[in-house]
Amino acid sequence: DAGVTQSPTHLIKTRGQQVTLRCSPISGHKSVSWYQQVLGQGPQFIFQYYEKEERGRGNFPDRFSARQFPNYSSELNVNALLLGDSALYLCASSPDRGRVQETQYFGPGTRLLVL
Amino acid sequence: GIQVEQSPPDLILQEGANSTLRCNFSDSVNNLQWFHQNPWGQLINLFYIPSGTKQNGRLSATTVATERYSLLYISSSQTTDSGVYFCAVEETSGSRLTFGEGTQLTVNP
């Protein structure tokens, strides 16, 4: 079975530009979460989506937005890029939202560099 | 929000040595996972362990939920064990994972 997939693998943008990152969850998983990992730190939660609705949001500015599609895939959009947005963006999927004893599975990530 | 602290931040071992990594958390949790992040950034699930003890080959983990800590044991370490080990917890009030800062493990041949 395919794991969580993300595209693109790498991306270079300049300040002020906009970027869209994509994620496909494990087949049968309905929940998708996004995390940002800055070099040398642990991943930080950005969003969780379940059944196309936002179920959680981390401490990120409104420049960050996301959506989930009927097939449960998801996009993360970041507008007006800043140098500090350079990071590894990770997508995770899980079968359901809010259930106790639920494991999250992570994709390989998208490395974003903002120049 | 919940705080997650991992120790030690860095660990250097010779191949064949054993090690213990610790994760302390500040509140009750629904979920605790241990991950290994490889040099390419992939987070690999090691254990889902909100309480109790589990073993998988040379790795084992124990979580004492009442005392708010978890331990990851690596025995007979190999060079391929090198990388960053993260502990992540899910609060009882939500479904997001909060990660610690990780333990950077280097296993030398």
**Which pLDDT score, from 0 to 100, does residue A97 have?**
57
**pLDDT tier at B39 (50, 70, 90 boundaries)?**
confident
**What span, in angstroms and rounded, lies between the C-alpha atoms of A35 and A26?**
17
Mean pLDDT over the full length of chain B? 94
B100 touching A (Cβ < 8 Å): yes
Average pLDDT over every residue of A29-50: 94
What is the DSSP track for A68-95? E-TTS-EEEEE-S--GGG-EEEEEEEES
C-alpha dihedral sign at B99, A32, A49, A19? positive
- Residue A95 touches chain B, beta carbons under 8 Å: no
Cβ–Cβ below 8 Å for A97 and B35: no
Residues from chain B contacting residue A98 (CB–CB below 8 Å):
94-95
A55 touches chain B (CB under 8 A): yes
pLDDT for the residue A11: 96
The answer to whether the Cα torsion of A87, B49, B39, B104 is positive or negative is: positive
Q: What percent of chain A has pLDDT over 90?
A: 79
Contact A48 B99 (CB under 8 A): no
Instruction: Provide the pLDDT for residue B40.
Output: 86
Indicate the residue type of A1: D
Contact status of B2 with chain A (Cβ, < 8 Å): no
Question: Residue A99 — pLDDT band, cuts 50, 70, 90?
Answer: low
pLDDT score of A50 more than 90 = no
Residue B53: both structure tokens together: 């003890």
* Nearest chain B Cα distance for residue A1, angstroms: 16
The whole-number pLDDT of residue A1 equals 61
**Cβ–Cβ contact A9 with B under 8 A:** no
A35 reaches B (C-beta below 8 A): yes
Adjacent-strand bridge partners of A88:
A37, A111
- Beta-strand pair B43-48/A53-57: unpaired
- Give the Cα separation of A99 and A103 in Å (integer): 10
Residues, chain A, total? 115
Tokens of B86: 């993260």
pLDDT at A102 over 90: no
CA distance A82 to A13: 10
Segment B85-94, tens digit of pLDDT: 999 998 877 6
Is the pLDDT at A101 greater than 70, yes or no? no
Mean pLDDT of chain A: 92
Sheet with B59-64, edge to edge strand ranges: B4-7, B19-25, B69-74, B59-64, B52-56
B87 Cβ contact partners less than 8 Å away, ≥ 6 residues apart? B4, B6, B21, B23, B25, B32, B33, B34, B35, B70, B72, B99, B100
**Least CB–CB distance from A108: residue in B42, B99, B101:** B42
